[in-house]
Amino acid sequence: MASSPRFQNRVVLVTGASSGIGRACARALGREGARVVAAGRRRERLDELVAGIRKDGGEAAAVTGDVREEATCRAWVGEAVTRFGGLDGLVNAAGVLGAGSVIETTPAEWDRQMTSNLRSIFLLTRVAAPELIQRKGSVVNLSSVAGMRPYANLAAYCVSKAAVDMYTRCAALDFAPHGVRVNAVNPGVVVTELHTVTQAVPDYAGFLERSKTTHPIGRVGQAEEVATLVLFLLGEDAGWITGVTYSIDGGRALASAR
């Protein structure tokens, strides 16, 4: 007898689902039987994603808004409860990247990255807490190799992701008595729109080519590879894992800066 999909009838909210790793996670969850609430800003991209999940026999709904606003977070969690009956998992994949040194970064740019990469996770996880506690769910946050080591001209991004790592550990301790697990993944360079949407990396093709030499394994990553790790941490096979930040970076964090 064939086994049931890993996330059969479990409800998972995924932010940043309109592109990149968030989109890959939403698709993978749909294939594994989850009822997916795909959240982001670009309605057309989300509708396309939801249509694809439904075409493959899954269940999904799209929600839009600014995850940096508490009202948006409440609306997204409310949609999961109203449409699918509750919430079993949360993937905080929304985030932004911006270049700039400590000297060059403006206060406005600092705030943009901190609110997008850190405040968003705090707000949504806090709002989702009652539902996650009720179902003893789990949370996976998207951090970065830049949260584990500094890089020149990426001050705000590095600090925001280091804060995500510490937030993950603190949240894991606070949620543990309620049976909810919280973990994070720290990708290296992954082929997504993250580097191009704000032109943080003008020569993206050249950047990817150079990244083959800065990642010891000799290549950059794919969003689907990160999604595989996210689903593992989200699922029951990782039931004794919490408060961990997992590198998935082709060895990038091990290498000396170049």
Q: Which of 11-25, 40-54, 73-87, 180-194 has the lowest mean pLDDT?
A: 180-194
- The residue ranking higher by pLDDT, 191 or 186, is 186
Which residue ranges form the domains of the chain, and what is each CATH number? 11-250 (3.40.50.720)
Q: Confirm if 123 and 74 have CB atoms less than 8 A apart.
A: no
Q: Please give the sequence-ordered ranges of beta strands (E in DSSP) within the chain, or none if there are none.
A: 11-14, 35-40, 59-64, 89-92, 138-142, 181-187, 245-248
Residue 181 has pLDDT above 80, yes or no: yes
Q: Provide the mean pLDDT of the chain.
A: 93
Query: Residue 103 has which token pair?
Result: 């000297």
Active site (catalytic) residues = 157
